[in-house]
Structure 1
Amino acid sequence: MNFVQNSKPSILLVDGMALMFRAYYASAVTGYIRRTKAGVPTNAVYGFMRYFWDAVQKFGPTHIACCWDLGSKTFRTEQFAAYKGNRSDAPDDLIPQFSLIRDVMDSLSIPNVSSPGYEADDCIGSLAARFGKEMDVLILTGDHDMLQLVTERTSVIIMKKGHGNYMVYTPDSLLEEKCLTPGQIVDLKGLMGDTSDNYPGVRGIGEKTALKLVQEYGSVEGILANLDQLSKSVRAKIEADLDMLHLSRQLAEIRCDVELDCTENSCRFELNPALVVSKFEELEMASVSSWLGVV
């Protein structure tokens, strides 16, 4: 393999959904969709591998796992039927590539991790909680909700615009940039809601007000204990939407207790050259095998 692994054990937890969508849209915007001779679309698979391998080379993990959503029904949709209800269907050219990239991960001997009723975020949170006791954890994503998982042992790597650009969040850098602790990310989302996940928070309270309240009073509990200190307008909005505030905070919180069949040993990153070469020949991407240093 043409990259250097850290001498100290670390695990890279990949947000497969975030990388897949980013890879698809980054190439689809040009109007050109890469395909095999048989017409199978592979642009998202190719782009995924570019993003993935760049991060592996940069951060040198000794262990890797890739986490996925399984479908639209989760415990969150049971709590709030409209959760993510504003999302459009995946493009036709992307749909077959979800199984292709999982096959690719299999060929790289990287576990594909998911669980019925839970999202990829919950799988990542649960693996981070488990493996963080033994080694450093690196979470690769574009989703700022993941910042709630930052600890002294868990860093969140946010993929920024452009190839190979990252912001690595630790407790110190999160506090420095956003003036928030990891737990306060959940309080912030409870107040302001999340338009991309389609839950409202407290109607009439946007990010600016939510940030000010969380920074001043520390948490939702702190805010509620000091309602008499708030302006009449803000207090009225919170009191009118108290149930939705608590529900939105529940929806925003990533579960870290999902039981997953994924062991430290199964995540050890060791390529089988024959498997890798065979898979990328099948996908007509021999160049990827070259990146991985197996040809």
Structure 2
Amino acid sequence: MTTPGSVGRLLLLDSASLYFRAFFGVPDQRKDPGQPPTNAIRGFLDMLASLVTQFEPTHLVACWDNDWRPQFRVDAIPTYKTHRLADGGIEEEQVPDDLSPQVPVIVDALAALGIARLGADGYEADDVIGTLTARHKGSMAVDVVTGDRDLFQLVDDAAGVRVVYTARGGVRDPDLVDQAFLLAKYAIPDGPSYADMAVLRGDTSDGLPGVAGIGEKTAAKLITTYGSLVALREAIDAGDPALKGAQRARLEAGAAYLDVAPKVVQVAPDAPVPHVDTSLPSEVADPALLSRVASEYGVTSSVNRVLSALRLG
């Protein structure tokens, strides 16, 4: 997918989505449990090599959760991601013990390779992705790699933005989500309509209740009928006779939720993401660090795959 006037392709990685997938999907090959775990490191690097080979980006960013549960979303809906809190309800995400020590090694590997890794304080990786998409769409094609369907809201054929959705087939056989996919799967026409539908439907995986009694198909029909959530709410307030009975009662009962939910569901297009060179590296940034990561963690083969994909080997 390209768009007229676009130059290059920007690949945006939902990094946590990938390293969690790697951790749970790649076998732990340690023979000695006293050795450091490496399956997420290996899996992440192998995914990176596969994605670069398959999609041939000219620019690449590993987008990071500087804050996995931003306060502005919690203020709007206090149940936001509460089920993911660490034991005891402390404000930390519950992460498997064997994954936690691997994340800093992934950070080191990205730095050594010279791949941009960007986050923004007070924002999630989704917001970094949304901001970089808003910043670059139209000037280059944008592929968003994630297992999170929330980011379907960014899909925009005219601007050359699609989602490489890894939840079912992984990075080797992902769903390529464009507007035709959204229409076929959800009966909605575009990314903004997906966000509006998601507000109505809710998402238990994120602690978003949705409007009680409004499922996905009904939500999609309401959004396509009225064009947007804003227009739907205006029709409710205006007493549109087509909205009646139990459906009107449910929507009216959900008014307080609908007042705040869009700011939780919609990704930020203007997070304070640094402006850096996102071009694929032309040389290894820190050969000594990369060599140390490869040797200390036994991931030389995975590192070499990335170097080959980046044509740095």
- The TM-score normalised by the length of structure 2 is 0.83
CA–CA distance in 2 between the matches of 1:211 and 1:179?
7
Provide structure 1 residue ranges, at least 5 long, that are not aligned to the other structure. Answer: 1-6
CA–CA distance in 2 between the matches of 1:80 and 1:223?
21
Q: 2:90 corresponds to which residue?
A: none
Contact 1:111 1:262 in 2 (8 A): no
Indicate the SS of the match to 1:81.
Answer: coil
CA–CA distance in 1 between the matches of 2:33 and 2:242?
67
Root mean square deviation, CA, Å: 2.3
Using the TM superposition, give the Cα deviation of residue 175 of structure 1 relative to its aligned residue in structure 2, in angstroms.
3.0
Contact 1:115 1:123 in 2 (8 A): yes
Contact 1:217 1:223 in 2 (8 A): yes
Indicate the SS of the match to 2:84.
Answer: coil
Provide structure 2 residue ranges, at least 5 long, that are not aligned to the other structure. Answer: 1-5, 86-93
Query: Residues 35 and 243 from structure 1, CA distance in 2 versus in 1: closer, same or farther, beyond 3 angstroms?
Result: farther
Matched, 1:189 2:198: yes
Using the TM superposition, give the Cα deviation of residue 37 of structure 1 relative to its aligned residue in structure 2, in angstroms.
8.8
Code of the residue aligned with 1:272 in structure 2: it is: V
CA–CA distance in 2 between the matches of 1:101 and 1:42?
10
Code of the residue aligned with 1:270 in structure 2: it is: S
1:158 pairs with one of 153, 160, 165: 165
- The TM-score normalised by the length of structure 1 is 0.88
CA–CA distance in 2 between the matches of 1:44 and 1:35?
16
Matched, 1:77 2:47: no
2:175 pairs with one of 155, 158, 167: 167
CA–CA distance in 1 between the matches of 2:235 and 2:76?
28
Using the TM superposition, give the Cα deviation of residue 95 of structure 1 relative to its aligned residue in structure 2, in angstroms.
1.1
Contact 1:36 1:42 in 2 (8 A): no
Code of the residue aligned with 2:66 in structure 1: it is: L
Q: 1:46 corresponds to which residue?
A: 42
Q: 2:210 corresponds to which residue?
A: 201
Percent identity of equivalent pairs = 33
Deviations 1:28-83 (A, max 9, x none): xx6x4648996211111111112221111000001111111123441212322221
Deviations 1:91-142 (A, max 9, x none): 1111112211111111111111111110000001101111224321111111
CA–CA distance in 1 between the matches of 2:82 and 2:227?
31
Contact 2:115 2:281 in 1 (8 A): yes
Q: 2:304 corresponds to which residue?
A: 290
Q: 2:25 corresponds to which residue?
A: 26
Q: 1:272 corresponds to which residue?
A: 284
CA–CA distance in 2 between the matches of 1:219 and 1:244?
16
Code of the residue aligned with 1:165 in structure 2: it is: D
Q: 1:250 corresponds to which residue?
A: 263
